[in-house]
Amino acid sequence: MSPPHIAVYGATGHTGRLVAADLHARGLEITLAGRDGNALKTLSEELGGALVFEAALDEPAALRDLAGSADVLIHCAGPFTDTGRALATAAAEAGCHYVDHALEQHHTKWMFDAMQGPAREAGITMVTAMSFYGGLGDLLAGAVAAGVTGVDRVITAYSVTGWRLTTGARKTAELLFADTRRITYTDGAEHVGYVEPRNAVFPFPPPLGPRTMIAPVPFPEVVTVPRHVAARQVEAQLTAHTFEEEQAFTSEHVDAATRAGSHFTVAVQVITQDGNRAGQARGHDLWRMSALASVEAAVRLAGGQGDGGQGPEPGPGGQGPGPGAGGQGPGPGVFSPAEAFPAGPFLRDLERLGLFTLTLQEER
């Protein structure tokens, strides 16, 4: 049996390079894709040889050909507000599984609203928001809330130092924080409109301790988590100092080693009337964490492995599929990371790759 063929769009960006390098190191067949043919050829030479496919976002036929040549398409080229629809549509039309690194709320919601039908008709699995921001929070929320009922509130909290934004990440951040039509999830429903940011304090476990947070931040957990956790409120928070660091927005061209110097703690609180449950992941290099999470997702999709569900059966939140139903994968459709894969085991696999140290515990 031949190894799966995985295409990486945006392969010459920082995340795309990490994805491509890891896939190549695993001995998988890959296609390096994007808009700059010369840069793709250079990357192929650096990796010792890989297929190259040049395709612009306004070339739907070429994007369909790219997706049609692969078992899975990993989309790494943000901002996904600008790039996501073209690649997701091409994957559905070509019948190719799809994973993206999106963290924009509205793109994530669009994926669920617009691509659910096409994905099911094509018989493919599409996993959106498989990124550090949003994706890790969704997985942690799924793991911590497993088996819990009567959830009042889910909080995902990100403490990040040393974050050095790429050009794409800077553009995405500017789009996110300029958006006045933010999605929130309160009283068991989505709401869209202006949200006044506030300062909050999140009780990170030792050794980090309580930190001042920006709350809420416009991350996709408000769209993804309610699909598999029946909660009254979902909110994401980010340490206030993260964007106060002088080099965060002025380091687009730093070398890879410098960019790998970020440190993070991502913590989740699942609050119920009977007590709280918590979990956290502590590690460094958020870019590598994001890249390898998408690789793990793509390898599982290519091999027919997912949450063990049977497809579009309703989960605890009444929208997404239920985990652990005994099948060979999540079935066709659009899924969040914690819908597509069993959250706890998936996180443990990432931990074994050295991406973070995982702690899942119950607070009383």
177 shares a domain with 97? no
Do 94 and 239 belong to one domain? no
Q: Is residue 359 part of a domain?
A: no
Note the pLDDT tens digit of each residue in 152-179: 999 999 999 999 888 888 889 888 888 8
User: In this structure, what CATH number is given to the domain that contains residue 183?
Assistant: 3.30.360.10
- Residue 307 sits in the same domain as residue 188: no
Domain that holds residue 142: 132-285
Q: Which helix (H) or strand (E) covers residue 114, if one does?
A: helix 105-114
Per-residue pLDDT of 175-191, as tens digits, reads 888 888 999 999 999 99
- Through-space distance between the first and last CA atoms of the chain, rounded to whole angstroms: 50
Element (DSSP H or E) covering residue 141: helix 137-144
Q: Residues 117, 160: one domain?
A: no
Domain shared by 115 and 153, yes or no: no
Q: Is residue 353 part of a domain?
A: no
Residues 151 and 65 in one domain: no
Indicate whether 190 and 147 sit together in one domain. yes
Q: Which of 212, 282, 272, 204 is nearest to 242 (CA)?
A: 212
The answer to whether residues 231 and 94 belong to one domain is no
Same domain, 143 and 279: yes
The answer to whether residue 354 is domain-embedded is no
Comparison of pLDDT for 269 and 249, the residue scoring more: 269
User: What is the CATH classification number for the domain harbouring 65?
Assistant: 3.40.50.720
Q: Write out pLDDT tens, residues 331-351.
A: 999 999 999 999 999 999 999
Report how many domains make up the chain: 2
Residue 362 in any domain: the answer is: no
Supply the pLDDT for residue 24. Answer: 96
pLDDT exceeds cutoff 50 at 311: no
In this structure, is residue 21 part of a structural domain?
A: yes
Within a domain: residue 155? yes
Asked whether residue 348 is domain-assigned, the answer is no
pLDDT value at 305 more than 80:
no
Token reading at 326: 């005994």
**Whether 333 and 267 share a structural domain:** no
Residue type, 299: V
Residues 167 and 271 in one domain: yes
163 and 274 together in one domain: yes
Distance CA 336, CA 129 (A): 7
352 in a structural domain: no
Measured distance CA(188)–CA(269) in Å, rounded: 17
Instruction: Please answer whether residues 118 and 187 qualify as being in contact, where contact means their C-beta atoms are separated by less than 8 angstroms.
Output: no
Q: Is the pLDDT of residue 229 over 70?
A: yes
